[in-house]
Structure 1
Amino acid sequence: MRDRQGAGQESPMSRIQEKKTITTATSPFIVIGVDVSKDQLDVYVSPAGNHHSFKNDAGGAVELVNVCRDHDADLVVLEATGRYHRMAHETLHGAGVKTAVANPARSRNFARSIGRLAKTDRIDAQVLAEYGERLRPPASTPPSKLQAKIAEITVARRQIVDEMKILKHQQTQTLDDLVIAQIAARISLCQGHCKDLEQLLAELIQEDDGIRRKHEILTSIPGIGLTTAATLISELNELGGANAKQIASLSGVAPMNRDSGSFRGKRKIGGGRKPVRDVMYMAAVVAIRWNKDMAAFYQRLKKAGKPFKVAITAVMRKLLILANTLLSENRLWSETQP
């Protein structure tokens, strides 16, 4: 009887094995890595293993799109290189190609972790493709031309502020009157440049209704001024659209555990976007003087024995979460909570 059933019918086990074969036979995930330099786009297609090289201009960006379409790419991973990757990012996004922009430090750490110590443009493109294949970073939308311009102005201002810090330190280290006078003149020039850039920022923010509204909401919070708001708008585009934990992590103000076995280390902040963290530190210092809620929160932490760094970091995080909430609800800050 068992022989006749076996000859005339498939066994349940064979049907299960066939079903497994069908469900696991999926098409490969196609990732294209693009190493970006000033003049060139080096391209690697995974898993096909094809290399391409195009000029980093409008024509090269179109050729890159054609390669993506020829291979039916699921994801393109671009290396972030300031303004040099923008044209490729904008062209790919406009063509409907999912594109992730990778932090160069992270992609380099990934290369070291898989033993790729050599570094050339071709190798970097291959590493980016493998990085995308394994980690599947989320696709990102390129900033608008106005957002990109605001970002450039905030970076320029930040560099001038850093230069002034160096000059002021030099001023305290010299005794020569001529050198002191020259340094004072350079500091005065930097201060004038900062004011010019701040004026330009204020004008640019007024050009777009959405950016103007974001700026209005952010600057309604005591402690957040023009440049802090501009930095948040340009460097933290997720603000208002992510949850509190995500915003804290993206900004690098979420405490990270340092535990191993029975050892319990101090939690520390790190990673995230340093420009955001830097401006939020200054905002928190101002907020604990002029924002009643933040001042009371800070004093509670100090009375509980928390060190200054721990307390001020908590204020930074609370400020960011408040800004995120107000933007998501599209309302201004008020002393009385609704």
Structure 2
Amino acid sequence: MQGRFMMSIQNYGGIDIAKKHFVIGITGMAKTKTETNNSKGFQHTVEYLQKHHVSLVVLESTGGLEIPLAKALHHAGLRVVIANPRQTHSYAQSFSLGKTDSKDAKMLADYAQAIELKGLAANMLYQPPTVAEEELEALVKRRSQLVEMRTAEKNRLAQIHPSQQQSVEDLIRHFNTLIADLDKQIAKYNDSNFDGKNKIIGEIKGIGDTTCATLMSMLPELGRLPHKSIALLVGVVPPAKQSGESVGKTGCTGGRMEVRNALYMATLTASRFEPKIKAFYERLIGKGKPFKVAINACMHKLLRILNARVRDYLCLDGLQCA
């Protein structure tokens, strides 16, 4: 009887990741377990979590270090959430000001249980990108890196000694060539790998090939989640700041920065040329709203339009609807 009862218990896991190792915490267990951050450690982790009937695992977003482990856990059938460190840090401070890898792992396990009990986990689950999405994301990120380097050289050109100007100009031209080549690759990749979904996104004025590629590769949930969930995922919904009669200024934080930045640039253009966004922007400005408030509201509206269009496309195509 006791054995059957123990088998029915569902535990929650948290994993604190570093470059060479990671620490595993499980709800209700005082001790943590340390594993090597490699494929052998991933297999040991899967076996350990399954042995203790873990139903949900939370990892923090750590600049990509968490992705290989998250993929391994997902492919083993475990539910995985990659959490925003800002949110988990706030959660941790409500319990303890101390910080160690073991404490962080236990805290993440508690956080996993909390979001499950509140019904939040379902819309936060990690879904590994497809091969096409990964390759497109690599192209977009490389383009962004080259644009940053080109901007640095352009800024340097105004200050550099005349004897070195030619060198900087040559490098800028080289960056121009590389970026133009990547633009062609991105456009070709968009057209050949996403069955027309990219064309639905690109119909909106302001959404160019690079923005479309960013959305396709870094926001695969587009069209598959409710509007509120997708807005929170991107980070275009400012959190409320109100206590008593005091109302503080709000701003958008967290979310997927690359997607939000691309959406911001697209919104600037859409606010001038896309009829619905333009009318909405002008109405907000006419009411005296500051520029940043109006643009953020337009970003939110543009994202809702994109989400609805992709959702309708997926439904027509016989896929899962949001």
> For the structure 1 residues 189 and 68, does the alpha-carbon distance in structure 2 shift closer, same or farther, using more than 3 Å as the test?
same
1:115-194 paired onto structure 2 within 5 Å? 115-120=96-101, 122-136=102-116, 137=121, 138-172=124-158, 174=159, 176-194=161-179
* Whole-angstrom CA distance in 1 between matches of 2:91 and 2:164: 47
Unaligned runs of 5+ in 1: 1-24, 332-338
1:216 alignment counterpart: 199
In the superposition, the TM-score normalised over structure 1's length comes to 0.79
Per-residue Cα deviation, 1:282-313 (whole angstroms, up to 9, x for no partner):
10111133323322332233233222222222
* Whole-angstrom CA distance in 2 between matches of 1:118 and 1:59: 27
> For the structure 1 residues 264 and 82, does the alpha-carbon distance in structure 2 shift closer, same or farther, using more than 3 Å as the test?
closer
* Whole-angstrom CA distance in 1 between matches of 2:162 and 2:133: 44
* Whole-angstrom CA distance in 1 between matches of 2:65 and 2:82: 12
> For the structure 1 residues 197 and 134, does the alpha-carbon distance in structure 2 shift closer, same or farther, using more than 3 Å as the test?
same
1:316 to partner: Cα distance: 1.6
The one-letter amino acid paired with 2:138 is E
* Whole-angstrom CA distance in 1 between matches of 2:79 and 2:266: 36
Alignment match of 1:271 (pick from 225, 245, 254)? 254
Alignment match of 1:101 (pick from 78, 82, 88)? 82
* Whole-angstrom CA distance in 1 between matches of 2:238 and 2:49: 40
1:206 to partner: Cα distance: 4.1
* Whole-angstrom CA distance in 1 between matches of 2:235 and 2:99: 30
> For the structure 1 residues 266 and 32, does the alpha-carbon distance in structure 2 shift closer, same or farther, using more than 3 Å as the test?
closer
* Whole-angstrom CA distance in 1 between matches of 2:289 and 2:180: 37
2:318 alignment counterpart: none
> For the structure 1 residues 59 and 265, does the alpha-carbon distance in structure 2 shift closer, same or farther, using more than 3 Å as the test?
closer
* Whole-angstrom CA distance in 2 between matches of 1:255 and 1:37: 31
Per-residue Cα deviation, 1:148-186 (whole angstroms, up to 9, x for no partner):
2222322222233233333333334x1622344333333
> For the structure 1 residues 148 and 109, does the alpha-carbon distance in structure 2 shift closer, same or farther, using more than 3 Å as the test?
farther
> For the structure 1 residues 34 and 259, does the alpha-carbon distance in structure 2 shift closer, same or farther, using more than 3 Å as the test?
closer
Alignment match of 2:269 (pick from 280, 283, 286)? 286
* Whole-angstrom CA distance in 2 between matches of 1:164 and 1:70: 52
1:207 to partner: Cα distance: 4.7
The answer to which structure, 1 or 2, has the higher relative contact order (CA under 8 A, 6+ apart) is: 2
2:59 alignment counterpart: 78
| Native 8 Å contact 1:214 1:327 kept in 2 | yes
| Native 8 Å contact 1:29 1:133 kept in 2 | no
Identity of matched residues, %: 31
* Whole-angstrom CA distance in 2 between matches of 1:266 and 1:40: 40
> For the structure 1 residues 38 and 217, does the alpha-carbon distance in structure 2 shift closer, same or farther, using more than 3 Å as the test?
same
* SS of the residue 1:201 aligns to: helix
RMSD across aligned positions (CA): 2.7
* Whole-angstrom CA distance in 2 between matches of 1:157 and 1:113: 41
* SS of the residue 2:15 aligns to: strand
| Native 8 Å contact 2:10 2:53 kept in 1 | no
1:322 alignment counterpart: 305
| Native 8 Å contact 2:206 2:269 kept in 1 | yes
| Native 8 Å contact 2:215 2:259 kept in 1 | yes
Unaligned runs of 5+ in 2: 1-5, 315-322
| Native 8 Å contact 1:215 1:229 kept in 2 | yes
> For the structure 1 residues 179 and 111, does the alpha-carbon distance in structure 2 shift closer, same or farther, using more than 3 Å as the test?
farther
* SS of the residue 2:32 aligns to: strand
1:199 alignment counterpart: 184
2:211 alignment counterpart: 228
1:27 to partner: Cα distance: 6.3
> For the structure 1 residues 46 and 245, does the alpha-carbon distance in structure 2 shift closer, same or farther, using more than 3 Å as the test?
closer
1:56 alignment counterpart: 37
Aligned residues: 303
* SS of the residue 1:283 aligns to: helix
In the superposition, the TM-score normalised over structure 2's length comes to 0.82
Which protein is bigger by CA-based radius of gyration?
1
> For the structure 1 residues 207 and 85, does the alpha-carbon distance in structure 2 shift closer, same or farther, using more than 3 Å as the test?
farther
* Whole-angstrom CA distance in 2 between matches of 1:264 and 1:26: 49
> For the structure 1 residues 27 and 37, does the alpha-carbon distance in structure 2 shift closer, same or farther, using more than 3 Å as the test?
same
1:325 to partner: Cα distance: 0.9
* Whole-angstrom CA distance in 1 between matches of 2:252 and 2:22: 35
* Whole-angstrom CA distance in 2 between matches of 1:207 and 1:187: 30
2:95 alignment counterpart: 114
| Native 8 Å contact 1:257 1:268 kept in 2 | no
Moved more, 228-237 or 181-190: 181-190
* Whole-angstrom CA distance in 1 between matches of 2:33 and 2:251: 43
